[in-house]
Amino acid sequence: MKKAIILEGWFNSPGDEWYPWLGKELENKGYKVSIPDLPTMNTKLPDMQKQIKFVEKNFKIDESTIIVGHSLGAVLALRLAEKYKYKKMFLIAGWDFDDLTAEHKLFWKTKINHAKIKKNVRKIYVFSSDGDPYTTAITAEGMSKRLDGNFVLIKGAGHFSEKCGDITKIPKILKCV
């Protein structure tokens, strides 16, 4: 069975942004879709370990799974890819560096293990915008190179959120699924 997990961004909920649209589109392609309400994602100090434990308890990640992570959810997708083999990973407005604010410290106890991720995930797509106020396209493209991924630039998409560019759909993802 084809499965998809969409991981929300910081201070987002499963019904926000383009998540419901993508969920319906993936269901139309035969995927069983989950958009979990991740614990601590709507707090000032998101806790990666609690989120990983939640995902592990509630979902079986295997080589028929695709994971889509938005913003901090993209970092969670990277951390899951260090532990599990899965089919495809879509990192939307994500990053892989650890010099962020104190609010993100629970995601960076160790450096991202790019080599392990490349072994575990068959196809990686990194989506970025030229106008993202939080992470630059140059940063995303560098991450894509470190992961041997496919870099996709979407002009004017901001942080792929409604408040940063009125993005309610990302049709280019569907071409890669």
CATH number of 3-176: 3.40.50.1820
- The sign of the torsion formed by the CA atoms of 130, 135, 140, 142 equals positive
- Domain extents in the chain: 3-176
> What is the pTM assigned to this prediction?
0.93
Buried-state track 21-48, b at ≥16 Cβ within 10 A, e below 16:
ebbebbeeeebebbbbebebbeeeebbb
Which single residue is written with the structure tokens 């009125």? 166
| Per-residue model confidence (pLDDT) at position 45 | 86
Q: Which residues of 133-155 are buried (b: 16+ CB within 10 A; e: fewer)?
A: ebbebebbbbbbeebebebbebe
pLDDT in tens, the chain (177 residues): 999 999 999 999 999 999 999 999 999 999 999 999 999 999 988 899 999 999 999 999 999 999 999 999 999 999 999 999 999 999 999 988 766 666 666 677 778 899 999 999 999 999 999 989 888 999 999 999 999 999 999 998 989 987 766 688 999 999 999
